[in-house]
Amino acid sequence: MAECVRVDSSTSTHTMDKSITLPPDEIFRNLENAKRFAIDIGGSLTKLAYYSTVQHKVAKVRSFEHNTKEAASDKLYEISVQEEVTARLHFIKFENAYIETCLDFIKDHLVNTETKVIKATGGGAHKFKELIERKLGLKVDKEDEMTCLIKGCNFVLRNIPHEAFVYAKHADSEFRFQTTHPDIFPYLLVNIGSGVSIVKVESEDKFERIGGSSIGGGTFWGLGALLTKTKRFDELLQLASKGQHTSVDMLVKDIYGGSYGSLGLTGDLIASSFGKSATADKEFSKEDMAKSLLHMISNDIGQLACLYAKLHNLSRVYFGGFFIRGHPVTMHTITYSINFFTKGEVQALFLRHEGYLGAIGAFLKGAEEDNPNQYSWGENYAGSSGLMSVSPDMNPMQRARSGTFDMLEMDRLERQLVNLPLLQDPSSYIPDTVDLTEDALAREYWLYCFEEALDGVVKRAVASQPDIPEATERAEKFRQKYRHKLQTLRHQPFAYGSLTVRSLLDTREHCLNEFNFPDPYSKIKQRENDVALKYYQKAVKSLEELSWEQRQFALVRGVLAGNLTPSVPCEQRPWLVDSYDQWLERLKGPPHKCALFFVDNSGVDIILGVMPFVRELLSRGTEVVLASNSGPALNDVTNGELQILTERIAAMDPVIQAGLREDRLTLVQSGSSSPCLDLSRLDKVLAMVVRERQTDLVIIEGMGRAIHTNYYAMLSCESLKMAVIKNSWLADRLGGKLFSVVFKYEVPAGKPSQDSAALTPS
């Protein structure tokens, strides 16, 4: 039923080694800035949550005063590194045996004296109340468990894109992550603690326990311990994973000799759990009994969940509680049961951070005055442990796990992130082109690629801070951290949700930030921008001299060339994906109302590729919204840099100047700091501008944004995706060669257009 009391401590403190295997300051990170604590104490695991502010360096650009330009240098703008304070949520999970050690550590390092209260939840909270109050000198304030659980669940579903997954035991990857529906409500949460609670969640504050069952994790544990004389829950699960239930259960074929055809009941179906054990003259193995018990309980819970889902007409059913908590065995049997009872209509969904829900919720209850829900949060890959398979068969690292600490860090994002309003179907939008969790060959290739590239990244990081002697040391730490992440992902590709080229790139950025390399490319970008700017007027002039039709082609080539290293010639048409003719036809028609242009690199790309293209659009009477990254990633142009560049170009180019003046050319930030692009997590302001200006064309350029991500994205307006494939493996995958060109112009079905766009590779 409602509670989640996991165990008596007698069973969890058995032979626990009380030493902590990691240096505590790497677990309780940034404790000196911590304020506001919450704790969720279950039967065997404790989850601690706190809020802290993190100071880290950010690269900023600033324009030189025009009149001092010559005096300063020939550089375009000034780069400075500033300290910035951002908010971070820390969640740490450890075994109850460590609770005293941890409280001592926290007490010794807690600087902030404003904190007076610690929010607590979980069945074990009352047992440790006295200890916490004595050790920390904080008043323990108890919060309702289920309320915390639901709050936590809403939070992770809203802020972590690949939070929910479907479990498939025999698939190439055990975990199949789901795109979270933009509207997370309503859903059913089936919490399997010692009993089962079935809760219908309709909105942030509205939820109801619609049912439950007393047959839950406690039944498996209690009855299992009686039957097998095995004390620990984990051991019982291990026994179960080795057992054969058919020797204990009475199957349909035991009664019928085969299947019960007229009802469609197969012979292997369990007719009566433990039906064969009603005999005195037979011994049953522990493994077999444990397996039978596991099936009995999982099937029963699955059946009830389905009955409730059907009654309330809900299709999203999340399972949690200590019975599930990442155990492949129980996830498998629950999944099986749900498939059986709903004939595949409902999928059993599990959550990556299921274990943290109570702690997150308790924390949020305590932080209500700060209204954390008004912000968007993002998982910090550098500081989070990621999901592990705990199956001993599947994961040899399991042994090492016991006694270690699991962490989750969430960074508060500068802005609220929302869907691009122009997505055709936000609920089915998947940014990434290839899911590396499901594609073993691709995974191997990219993990290798990123490992190979690591030396170069480290070198560039060091080079970006030439005056700081300890940069080398930090860069080395970065290398270790990122290499470790790559190794983890090799064993556990599902650790951070779907593994994609984007997530690998983002993880690298997070790790660089972690070690204060906020923008390793800043100087390179500055130099390249500077050089490119000198050619701008010449480039525009030569374009002006071309005929209209020649110019259109030259503009496209310009964008593509900007994507290339200068030494490589642009591929001859027909390109790998080539709908240029349709695009040209379209241009002969009426101008677009407004184009949203997601830009890519600094230097030649933005200045000599994108800007002339923008100029042409403006001249046609199309408004342009230029969307660039909020924070740095590789050599991508940031919003800060683009502001300055545009100003400088405007000074040379009356068309751009007029565009800015008349507000027909707008610069917005995307809200992202990634070399890729997730159209479901964009700055709210961008979404607003897009809507206000009635945007009817979206242009996405570059490999990160148009190929690794969004290659298959379906938009509700016309779209143009342009990129050169600069990776021979990927080119090969797409059926082309290195430096093949993708020019994908699409018109959504049903929209009037001059010509239907051919989308197939030529």
Partner 1 sequence: MDFSLGAAVFYFHPLKCSVKLNRSFPWFGMDIGGTLVKLVYFEPVDITAEEEQEEVENLKSIRRYLTSNVAYGKTGVRDVHLELRNLTMCGRTGNLHFIRFPTQAMPRFIQMGRDKNFSSLHTTLCATGGGAYKFENDFRTMADLELLKLDELDCLIHGLLFVDRVGFNGHPECYYFQNPSDTQSCVKKPCTLDNPFPMLLVNIGSGVSILAVYSETNYKRVTGTSLGGGTFLGLCCLLTGCETFEEALEMASKGDSTNVDKLVKDIYGGDYERFGLQGSAVASSFGHMMSKDKRDSISKEDLARATLVTITNNIGSIARMCAVNEKIERVVFVGNFLRINTVSTKLLAYAMDFWSKGQLRALFLEHEGYFGAVGALMELLKTTEDP
Say whether residue 16 binds partner 1 (CB under 8 A).
Answer: no
User: Which of 115, 178, 213, 298 is close enough to bind partner 1 by CB under 8 A?
Assistant: 213
Exactly one of 50, 308, 381, 613 binds partner 1 (CB under 8 A); that residue is 308
Using the rule CB under 8 A, is 100 a contact of partner 1? no
Q: Quick one: three-class SS letters along 243-260?
A: CCHHHCCEEHHHHHCCCE
Asked if residue 194 binds partner 1 (CB under 8 A), the reply is: yes
Tell me if 749 contacts partner 1 by CB under 8 A: no
How far from each other are the two terminal CA atoms of the chain, in whole angstroms? 60
What's the closest the beta carbon of residue 348 comes to partner 1, in angstroms?
18
Q: Which residues contact 128 (CB under 8 A, 6 or more apart)?
A: 41, 99
Residue 598 near partner 1 by CB under 8 A: no
The only residue of 24, 186, 275, 761 in contact with partner 1, by rule CB under 8 A:
275
Contact characters 450-489, partner 1, x per CB under 8 A: ----------------------------------------
Q: Alpha-carbon distance 144 to 164, whole Å?
A: 24
Percentage helix, strand, coil, to 5, in the chain?
40, 20, 35
- Angle at which helices 454-463 and 471-491 pack, to 10 degrees? 160
> Is the C-alpha dihedral spanning 436, 438, 442, 448 positive or negative?
positive
CB 319 within 8 A of CB 349: yes
Residues 6+ apart with CB under 8 A from 267: 251, 252, 253, 256, 258, 259
* Angle at which helices 286-311 and 233-242 cross, to 10°: 100
**Helix residue ranges per DSSP H, 515-668:** 522-544, 548-562, 580-587, 604, 611-620, 639-652, 654-661
Among 170, 278, 541, 752, indicate the residue that binds partner 1 (CB under 8 A). Answer: 278
300 binds partner 1 (CB under 8 A): yes
Q: Which of 18, 66, 206, 231 binds partner 1 (CB under 8 A)?
A: 231
- Is residue 8 a contact residue for partner 1 (CB under 8 A)? yes
> Applying CB under 8 A, which part among 222-230, 380-388, 518-526, 677-685 lies near partner 1?
222-230
* Binding of partner 1 by 11 (CB under 8 A): yes
Q: What pairing do the DSSP bridges indicate for beta strands 187-192 and 316-320?
A: parallel
The full DSSP string for 294-328 is: HHHHHHHHHHHHHHHHHHTT--EEEEESTTTTT-H
CA angle 650–651–654, rounded 5-degree value: 60
Q: How far apart (Å, rounded) are the C-alpha atoms in residues 508 and 381?
A: 9
341 binds partner 1 (CB under 8 A): yes
Q: What single-letter amino acid sits at 439?
A: D
Binding region for partner 1 (CB under 8 A) out of 264-272, 357-365, 559-567, 577-585: 264-272
CB nearer to partner 1: give 1 or 660: 1
Q: Does 263 participate in binding partner 1 (rule CB under 8 A)? A: yes
Q: Does 227 bind partner 1 (CB under 8 A)?
A: yes
Among 64, 105, 274, 445, binds partner 1 (CB under 8 A): 274
741-746 and 175-177 strand pairing: unpaired
- We find the least distance from the C-beta atom of residue 5 to partner 1, in angstroms, to be 6
Confirm or reject binding of residue 260 to partner 1 (CB under 8 A): yes
Number of residues in contact with partner 1, rule: CB under 8 A?
67
- Location of structure tokens 């016309």: 718
Contact between 339 and partner 1 per CB under 8 A:
no
Residue 211 binds partner 1 (CB under 8 A): yes
Residues 399, 644: Cα–Cα separation, whole Å: 54
Q: How far is the CB of 227 from partner 1 (least distance, A)?
A: 6
Stretch that binds partner 1, among 210-218, 427-435, 500-508, 718-726 (CB under 8 A): 210-218
Which CB atom, from 13 or from 666, has the smaller least distance to partner 1? 13
Check residue 361 for interaction with partner 1 (CB under 8 A): no
96 binds partner 1 (CB under 8 A): no
Asked if residue 553 binds partner 1 (CB under 8 A), the reply is: no
8-state DSSP, 497: B
Structure tokens at 703: 């490999």
Residues that bind partner 1 (CB under 8 A): 1-3, 5, 7-8, 10-11, 123, 144, 146-147, 193-195, 197, 209, 211, 213-219, 221-223, 225-227, 231, 248-250, 252, 254-258, 260, 262-263, 270-280, 284, 289, 296, 299-300, 303-304, 307-308, 310-311, 341
